[in-house]
């Protein structure tokens, strides 16, 4: 009986995993350019929060917080958190469209690791979130908000870094909700979270029961951390724990849903 010669080890295909799990700067660049070409998303995430400030923030000009800082700055920072929240969630939620087109399942045929794919989406979302914070602060500065430089820097940095929670939330929702319903779901949910998390109205003016509920929302910790440089209040461990908890929950959830989705090839 004739037998085929054994394949030399030297000619076998080397199936080594790519560096960084397949994360590629070129792919990241494509993601960023695609996001910046979406005019509807940019208008919704960059323009609307600024309009909200002009409508709801400017009428409070002349009013001051207990420490003498302007109330308009309080409103501006809260809306910067909201802008970053909407921007990062919308960018993350865009994966729902890729799922509908079957793109995420095609990725299962490549060496790309789930964590590298999620990291690419998170970087894209965080870039849009940074733009949202900068635009909101520019609108506030142009409208006459005057606060110390360190407050601008620390509050802006906290609003931006804290939006990582919502970038992960967007990915989580993008893998959970059908593409045709994702934006209809995200918009109302973010509005409710902002209302009861202390972005549209201070938590202190809510009824006692809602004040207790607010501390458990994903918005609460980011809002408290971002406004702390302005108000002079210390950052509580509860706020930091809130941020860490929700970032972990949404991040793990997004990775698990990605694996489940791409497993069905």
Q: Which letter does DSSP use for residue 195 in this model?
A: H
Average pLDDT score over residue span 160-168: 92
Q: Give the tens place of pLDDT for each residue, 76-118.
A: 999 999 999 998 988 777 777 777 777 666 666 666 676 777 7
Kindly state the tokens that stand for 103: 């793109």
Answer yes or no: is pLDDT of 11 > 50: no
Q: Residue 259: which residues within 8 A CB-CB, separation 6 or more? A: 114
Strand, helix or coil at 64?
strand
Q: How far is the C-alpha of 71 from the C-alpha of 52, rounded, in Å?
A: 15
* HSE-CB for 92 with a 13 A CA cutoff: 33
Share of the chain above pLDDT 70, in %: 82
Answer yes or no: is pLDDT of 249 > 90: yes
pLDDT band at 75; cut points 50, 70, 90: very high
Q: Give the tens place of pLDDT for each residue, 178-214.
A: 766 677 778 888 989 998 888 988 888 888 898 888 9
Domain boundaries, the chain: 24-262
69 touches 140 (CB < 8 A): no
Closest to 174 measured CA to CA, from 247, 109, 126, 104: 104
pTM of the model: 0.85
Q: Dihedral, CA atoms, 39, 167, 238, 147, nearest 10 degrees?
A: -30
Check residue 236 and give its pLDDT. Answer: 83
φ/ψ region of 5 (left if φ > 0, alpha if ψ in -120 to 50, else beta) reads beta
Q: Give the tens place of pLDDT for each residue, 37-55.
A: 878 778 878 888 889 898 8
- Average pLDDT of the chain? 82
Check residue 122 and give its pLDDT. Answer: 83
Check residue 10 and give its pLDDT. Answer: 45
Q: Give the tens place of pLDDT for each residue, 222-246.
A: 999 999 999 988 788 889 999 999 9
Q: Dihedral, CA atoms, 136, 141, 147, 151, nearest 10 degrees?
A: 30
Answer yes or no: is pLDDT of 128 > 80: yes
Beta bridge partners of 70: 64
Q: Residue 194: which residues within 8 A CB-CB, separation 6 or more? A: 82, 85, 200, 219
Q: Residue 229: which residues within 8 A CB-CB, separation 6 or more? A: 150, 151, 154, 155, 158
Check residue 15 and give its pLDDT. Answer: 52
Q: How far is the C-alpha of 25 from the C-alpha of 30, rounded, in Å?
A: 9
Answer yes or no: is pLDDT of 159 > 90: yes
Q: How far is the C-alpha of 35 from the C-alpha of 21, rounded, in Å?
A: 23
């Amino acid at each position: 009986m004739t037998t085929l010669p054994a394949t030399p080890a030297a000619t076998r295909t080397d199936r080594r995993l790519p560096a960084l799990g397949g994360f590629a700067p070129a792919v990241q660049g494509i993601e960023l350019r695609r996001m910046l070409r979406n005019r509807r998303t940019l208008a919704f995430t960059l323009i609307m929060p600024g309009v909200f400030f002009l409508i709801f923030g400017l009428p409070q000009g002349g009013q001051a917080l207990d420490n003498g800082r302007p109330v308009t700055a309080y409103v501006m920072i809260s809306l910067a958190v909201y802008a970053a929240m909407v921007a990062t969630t919308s960018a993350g939620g865009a994966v729902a469209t890729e799922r509908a087109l079957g793109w995420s399942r095609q990725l299962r045929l490549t060496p790309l690791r789930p964590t590298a794919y999620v990291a690419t989406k998170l970087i894209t979302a965080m870039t849009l979130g940074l733009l949202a914070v900068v635009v909101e602060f520019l609108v506030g500065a142009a409208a006459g908000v005057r606060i110390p430089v360190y407050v601008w820097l620390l509050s802006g940095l906290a609003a931006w870094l804290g939006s990582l929670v919502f970038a992960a939330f967007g990915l989580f929702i993008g893998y959970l909700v059908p593409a045709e319903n994702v934006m209809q779901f995200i918009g109302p949910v973010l509005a409710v979270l902002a209302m009861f998390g202390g972005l549209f109205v201070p938590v202190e003016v809510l009824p006692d029961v809602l004040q207790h509920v607010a501390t458990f929302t994903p918005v609460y910790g980011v809002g408290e951390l971002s406004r702390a440089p302005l108000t002079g209040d210390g950052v509580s461990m509860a706020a930091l724990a809130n941020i860490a908890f929700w970032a972990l929950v949404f991040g793990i959830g997004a990775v698990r849903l990605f694996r489940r989705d791409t497993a069905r090839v």
